[in-house]
Amino acid sequence: MLEKQCLNETMHIEKLENGLDVIIIPMKNVSRKYATYATHFGSINYRFKPEGEDEMLTVPDGVAHFLEHKLFEQEEGENALDKLTKMGANPNAYTSFNHTAYLFDTTDHFTEIFKALMHFVQNPYLTEENVEKEKGIIGQEIGMYDDDPDWQLFFGFVNCLYGKHAITKDIAGTVETISHITPDILYKCYHNFYKPSNMVICVVGNVNVEEVVNLIKENVKPKGTLDKIERDYGEEKEEIYQSKIEKEMEVSLPSFMFGYKDNFNRQMLESGYEQEHKDVLQYDVALQIALELIAGKSTKLFEELYSEGLVTREFGLSFTYEEDYAYTSFDNESTDYQKVVQRVVDQIEELKKHGVNQEEFERTKKVLYGNFVKRFNDVSGVATMVISDYFKGINTFDYVKAYEQVDQKMVEEAIRKHFDPSKMAISVIKPKTSA
């Protein structure tokens, strides 16, 4: 078992013989216990080479999300979500672009609840009848997302950045695509992606490491193939697909999201950059600092835009990167979003030309690092970070060193490298015009 130290916390890491990774962060000064059982299978994994086959298989959009729903249904009849709730847990599950996670939060009866979680994740019960029934339930969920302005704003944005990449596909799929999902398709995906070597268990909270490891060894499949899954995310060009997309919806003010496509992670993968990931972590931290220096709530730009009534709130600022895509984004609401975007772009060009202020850099870096540290006060926040970073091949604790290493020059270089005007795109949701 490996151990990593960070902020007075210890991360215990062990890979079992069946290939399953186990991550445990014991916290003695809390009462809660939080467990996540996750698989490297998300909505972008719609095309892959099944084990033992020579040809790529394309499955309907929304399969990973559909399978997440169905794993809660058990052969004995009781829904696993209801069962865990009755045992005193606060259970949940989610599907993202690149992984699916099943989780619970509890203060009591951890062993029994954890065993129940491991049992239902490893024992799918899929029939023609229950799969068909789920299509109606998920179809209603899809309809809710279709009517959600924030969701549509985001997908408009990624559809501007990417033309053929799987990220442009809605996580839940569409009513049409899920109509083609069958038990056979779900079982094939399950047996390929829910094998131990493609999964991780993360436990955070007031637990005993040795007891948790033994519990996992006693309750997970003892065997599993260690072969990596060959995946196809779709051919993608370096340039953006389109610069702008607009949509009318029931909103009172126009909302907008704009940002810049980045190809650094694809280049890293193609060059064979492996375990260390030091440059990626530093680049991530540098761009987070850059975003705050450009349009954060403490900047002069934001104060001016807010006082002039051009924005209604703080900017949503994000640098997102996963295994095969990366981008920054700014989002807000405005009656004159074009003016706001231009002011932000002008600020970026100003920073490219004159560099960043040393005092502002130091203050911003300190604030972001403080926010990172605060997340360790919450077991769910820690677990969420660790799982997300794990599927990027990153250890969350390594961010401490990245924050120490990033300097002003790195931030200025990241600004010059990333914010390329030719890689910028914008999505807008506008109020419906009267007929």
The H or E element containing residue 263 is none
- Find the radius of gyration of the CA atoms of the chain: 23
Q: How far is CA 10 from CA 25, 27, 46, 397, in A?
A: 6, 9, 36, 9
Q: How far apart (Å, rounded) are the C-alpha atoms in residues 132 and 126?
A: 10
User: Please, what is the Cα angle at 320 between 317 and 324, to 5 degrees?
Assistant: 160
| Pairwise CA distance, residues 83 & 66, whole Å | 20
**Residue 45 in 3-state DSSP?**
coil
Cα separation, 285 vs 312, whole angstroms: 27
**68 noted as active-site residue:** yes
Q: Are 181 and 60 in contact (CB under 8 A)?
A: yes
Q: Report which of 330, 277, 263, 269 is spatially closest to residue 301, judged by C-alpha positions.
A: 330
Tokens 């030091």 map to which residue? 278
Quote the distance between the C-alpha of residue 140 and its chain's center. 23
Contact 265/165 with Cβ under 8 angstroms? no
Nearest Cα to 230, choosing from 196, 193, 255, 195? 193
Residue with tokens 């939060």: 105
- Is residue 11 within 8 Å of residue 23, measured between CB atoms? yes
Q: Are 148 and 250 in contact (CB under 8 A)?
A: no
Of 9, 51, 68, 141, which is the active-site residue?
A: 68
Q: Report the run of H or E that residue 168 belongs to, with start and end.
A: none
| DSSP symbol at 340 | H
Residues with catalytic annotation? Answer: 68
